[in-house]
């Protein structure tokens, strides 16, 4: 930490800076995973004997939660390892940086300009270790279970460390300390946060274990992009104002005591917020295609092994903005800004079947594509649209309250107050209600908004 108290002779300017490094706390979710695997219990499995061949039939254990000691003879390569922690665990940590310049204008007014940033390393992310390699010659749908990295298993979800996050912000804060019945604190923030552990289509800040299953263990950059919950622009102002009405005040300074007891001494409180919306990601729902050929985007295979079930990113069309020229609730995101990877003929509202593979008949791969919405063979890569490539609708709101305390003798006080949210009844469209499924005919539409104006009036007796 460093501070220069006198940049000028009048001590009105102050430069401050700081640096810190902190461990990121690991909580119960991670430790729970250590007891939610096959290492957390010991079970016995009974093998049967084939009466004709007199050969034992090995029972593969069913390791899903609650299965007990059940097994099967046909689940080879299908049992799912749902909880795992890397054996090369490293605790996450954060570097934080601050630098601010303060100026005192006098009369209670001040101004601060700040840079606040951080770098976080070894964050958790959740890949499926049992994927196929990138391919442009064969669809994962037509691949056998033995083509995967660990053919004896189904999906293997591992909680690994190694993901990264960065945050940079510029803030300007203007304040007026409480004097003459007025207090104001107004902060404007520009922020940029990037991370690669958000999953393919994050809709909130990532939790302790990331924001869901990663697109691929082979390409962590596939989920890199803007952090959903960080607002690019945010202006927040709070103000408290004692109304200048009543005896000894600017208005009605000589009013009768009875009238002053009613109309004097009221305090107005306000919170004003204006912000851009969260970052959002257009996707093709899983079960349509698999452009990378890894099985990430599929929900079934001809051989019966269970693939990734992961939503897939589109390609971004060069030179076309995601924001339509006449943006409204029925046309918030321009579908022409995106396309199906490997299929230039794609039209908005259609599925993206790139890499969906060929139909299989009697165990033989045919020459008939499974989907008419794209080439049956993959293109060996994911779509190039980053996570958080669009923004939802912003928010503007004013919340206000008016309160006064009436003294009723020495022991009793009566507090009257009214509080109102969204005072101007401004329509704030809801970001989570924005349809971002590119295969949907209603892509880019917003179906609901935030709460309308609401108010309450109350009285409380204190004694």
User: In terms of Cα–Cα distance, which of 234, 229, 233 is closest to 278?
Assistant: 229
Q: Which residue has the higher pLDDT, 403 or 85?
A: 403
pLDDT (tens digit per residue) in 80-121: 777 777 878 888 999 999 999 999 998 889 999 999 999 999
Do the domain assignments include residue 72?
Answer: no
CA dist 311 and 212 (Å) reads 11
* Count of structural domains, the chain: 1
pLDDT band at 66 (very low <50, low <70, confident <90, very high): very low
User: In terms of Cα–Cα distance, which of 288, 308, 306 is closest to 128?
Assistant: 308
Q: Which residue has the higher pLDDT, 154 or 44?
A: 154
- pLDDT computed for residue 64 by the predictor: 46
- pLDDT computed for residue 30 by the predictor: 67
Which range among 86-90, 169-173, 266-270, 302-306 shows the weakest confidence by mean pLDDT? 86-90
Query: How wide is the angle at C-alpha 309 spanned by C-alphas 306 and 310, nearest 5°?
Result: 145
Do the domain assignments include residue 59?
Answer: no
- pLDDT computed for residue 68 by the predictor: 47
- pLDDT computed for residue 253 by the predictor: 84
pLDDT (tens digit per residue) in 297-315: 999 999 888 899 999 999 9
Q: Over 50: is that where the pLDDT of 178 sits?
A: yes
Q: Is the Cβ–Cβ distance between 156 and 128 less than 8 Å?
A: yes
Q: Give me the DSSP letters along 157-191.
A: B-BEEEEEEEEEEEEEEEEEEEETTEEEEEEEEEE
CA dist 453 and 45 (Å) reads 62
- Give the CB-side neighbour count of residue 112, counting CA atoms within 13 A: 18
pLDDT band at 74 (very low <50, low <70, confident <90, very high): low
Q: Is the Cβ–Cβ distance between 108 and 183 less than 8 Å?
A: no
- pLDDT computed for residue 32 by the predictor: 63
Instruction: Look over the chain and give the mean of its residue pLDDT values, rounded to a whole number.
Output: 87
Q: Over 90: is that where the pLDDT of 237 sits?
A: yes
Which range among 11-15, 109-113, 186-190 shows the weakest confidence by mean pLDDT? 11-15
- Give the CB-side neighbour count of residue 129, counting CA atoms within 13 A: 16
Do the domain assignments include residue 409?
Answer: yes
Task: Check the CA dihedral 158-159-162-165 and report its sign.
Answer: positive
- pLDDT computed for residue 132 by the predictor: 94
- pLDDT computed for residue 28 by the predictor: 64
Q: What value does the mean pLDDT take over residues 371-397?
A: 95
Do the domain assignments include residue 232?
Answer: yes
Q: Which residue has the higher pLDDT, 398 or 83?
A: 398
CA dist 64 and 286 (Å) reads 23
- pLDDT computed for residue 160 by the predictor: 86
Q: Over 50: is that where the pLDDT of 129 sits?
A: yes
CA dist 258 and 246 (Å) reads 11
Element (H, E) at 20: strand 13-23
Q: What value does the mean pLDDT take over residues 11-40?
A: 74
pLDDT (tens digit per residue) in 341-354: 999 999 999 999 99
Q: Is the Cβ–Cβ distance between 66 and 79 less than 8 Å?
A: no
Which of 22-26, 148-152, 241-245 has maximum average pLDDT?
241-245
Which range among 74-83, 145-154, 372-381, 438-447 shows the weakest confidence by mean pLDDT? 74-83
Q: Give me the DSSP letters along 194-218.
A: EES-S-SS--S--BTTBSSB-S-TT
Residues contacting residue 329 through CB under 8 Å, at least 6 positions apart? 393, 429, 445, 446
Do the domain assignments include residue 457?
Answer: yes
CA dist 386 and 389 (Å) reads 6
Do the domain assignments include residue 193?
Answer: yes
Do the domain assignments include residue 63?
Answer: no
Q: Which domain holds residue 293?
A: 2-37+81-462
Q: What are the angstrom distances between the C-alpha of 208 and each of 25, 198, 202, 219, 223?
A: 9, 11, 14, 21, 17
Whole-model pTM: value is 0.83
Element (H, E) at 312: none
Which range among 10-14, 63-67, 190-194, 295-299 shows the weakest confidence by mean pLDDT? 63-67
Do the domain assignments include residue 56?
Answer: no
CA dist 325 and 322 (Å) reads 10
CA dist 195 and 226 (Å) reads 7
- pLDDT computed for residue 65 by the predictor: 41
Q: Is the Cβ–Cβ distance between 33 and 158 less than 8 Å?
A: no
Q: What is the CA radius of gyration of the chain?
A: 30
Query: How wide is the angle at C-alpha 342 spanned by C-alphas 337 and 343, nearest 5°?
Result: 70
Q: Over 80: is that where the pLDDT of 40 sits?
A: no
Q: What are the angstrom distances between the C-alpha of 410 and each of 108, 200, 214, 405, 415?
A: 34, 63, 65, 13, 15
- pLDDT computed for residue 201 by the predictor: 86
């Amino acid at each position: 930490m460093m501070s220069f108290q006198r940049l000028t002779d009048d001590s009105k300017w102050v430069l401050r800076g700081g640096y810190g490094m902190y461990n990121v706390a690991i909580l119960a979710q991670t430790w729970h995973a250590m007891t939610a695997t096959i290492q957390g219990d010991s079970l016995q499995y009974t093998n049967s004997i084939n009466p004709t061949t007199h050969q034992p039939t090995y029972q593969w254990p069913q390791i899903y939660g609650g299965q007990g000691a059940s097994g099967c003879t046909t689940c080879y390569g299908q049992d799912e390892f749902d909880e795992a922690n890397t054996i090369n665990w490293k605790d996450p940590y954060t570097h934080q940086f601050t630098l601010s310049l303060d100026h005192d204008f006098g009369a209670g007014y001040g101004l601060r300009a700040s840079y606040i940033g951080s770098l976080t390393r070894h964050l958790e992310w959740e890949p499926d270790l049992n994927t196929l390699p990138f391919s442009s010659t064969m669809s994962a749908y037509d691949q056998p279970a033995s083509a995967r990295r660990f053919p004896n298993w189904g999906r293997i979800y591992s909680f690994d460390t190694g993901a990264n996050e960065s945050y940079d912000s510029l803030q300007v804060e203007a304040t007026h300390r409480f004097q003459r019945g007025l207090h104001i604190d107004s902060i404007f923030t520009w922020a940029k946060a990037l991370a690669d552990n958000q999953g393919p289509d994050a809709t909130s800040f990532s939790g302790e274990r990331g924001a869901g299953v990663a697109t691929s263990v082979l390409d962590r950059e596939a989920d890199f992009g803007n952090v959903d919950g960080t607002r690019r622009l945010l202006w927040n102002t709070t103000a408290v104002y004692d109304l200048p009405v009543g005896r000894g005040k600017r208005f009605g300074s000589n009013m009768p005591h009875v009238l002053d007891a009613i109309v004097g001494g009221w305090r107005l409180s306000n919170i004003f917020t204006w912000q851009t919306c969260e970052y959002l990601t257009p996707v093709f729902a899983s079960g349509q295609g698999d452009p990378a050929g890894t099985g990430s985007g599929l929900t079934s295979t001809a051989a019966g092994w269970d693939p990734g079930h992961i939503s897939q990113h589109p390609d971004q069309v060069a030179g076309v903005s995601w924001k339509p020229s006449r943006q409204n609730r029925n046309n918030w995101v321009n579908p022409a800004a995106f396309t199906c990877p490997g299929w230039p003929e794609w039209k908005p509202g259609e599925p993206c079947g790139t890499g969906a593979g060929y139909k299989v008949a009697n165990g033989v791969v045919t020459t008939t594509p499974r989907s008419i919405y794209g080439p049956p063979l993959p293109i060996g890569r994911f779509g190039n649209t980053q996570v958080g490539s669009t923004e939802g609708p912003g928010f503007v709101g004013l919340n206000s309250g008016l309160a006064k305390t009436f003294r009723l003798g020495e022991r009793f006080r009566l507090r009257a107050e009214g509080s109102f949210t969204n005072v101007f009844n401004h329509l704030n469209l809801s970001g989570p209600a924005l349809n971002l499924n590119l295969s949907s005919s209603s892509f880019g539409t917003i179906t609901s908004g935030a709460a309308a104006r609401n108010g309450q009036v109350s009285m409380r007796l204190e004694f």
